[in-house]
Amino acid sequence: MKQSEQYIQDNLLNQNFNVSRPDQVWLANSTELSYGINGEYKVRLSGVLDLYGRRLLSYHLSPTETSETEVQVFQQAFAGAGSVVHPMVHTDRGSAYTSKMFSRYLDQYEVTKSMSRPGTPYDNAPMERWWNEFKHRWMARHPMPKTYQELMKLVGAGIEYFNHYNRSTQRNGLTPDEYWNKAV
């Protein structure tokens, strides 16, 4: 059996999480969420996070993390940002991000690609922290969604909250949207 090609990138971000403007660095990753009477169903929530202000640009729920899913979430991000942005895109080395399909998709936007080192989640710490806060400060404070539709509604409301209402001292007391709008 022939192994599929992998497109591995160096860790160019190198834990430099200080950026001076929007669309300079985008981070991507996915996390697992549960729903159902006893949380018996699992889905992946994929997202693209702008490092500037920690604003979630796009997200997608799917049964598993696939190259197609990650391309979809980036299609949403680029649709919102436009083709004039050329951010550094930093991901982990999961198979969805090392695939030929994902690499070719990003090539058309002339982005700089960066990947975390193997076994080093801290290389993508702001994205990991965003997921952690989303799960603990939003998902865990609401009843477990019983249906997929309830989960979609809860996730959408949570992302709305974190982008439009969540104030942080890291952003001088501003929400991600306010912080972004001040920069543009």
**Residue 4: predicted pLDDT:** 54
Please, what's the b/e burial string for 15-36 (b: 16 or more CB within 10 A of its CB; e: otherwise)? Answer: eeeebeebbebbbbbbbebebe
**Residue 2: predicted pLDDT:** 43
**Residue 6: predicted pLDDT:** 64
Contacts of 17 (CB under 8 A, 6+ apart): 51, 125, 126
In whole angstroms, give the CA distance from residue 182 to residue 93.
33
pLDDT, tens digit, 9 for 90 and up, residues 81-132: 976 899 999 999 999 999 999 999 999 999 999 999 888 889 999 999 999 9
Q: Are strands 25-35 and 88-91 parallel, antiparallel or unpaired?
A: parallel
For the whole prediction, is pTM greater than 0.85? yes
90 with 28: CB under 8 angstroms? yes
**Residue 121: predicted pLDDT:** 86
**Residue 5: predicted pLDDT:** 59
Could you tell me the mean pLDDT of each successive run of 10 residues in the chain, 184 residues long?
62 91 96 96 97 96 94 96 89 92 93 91 93 97 97 98 93 91 82
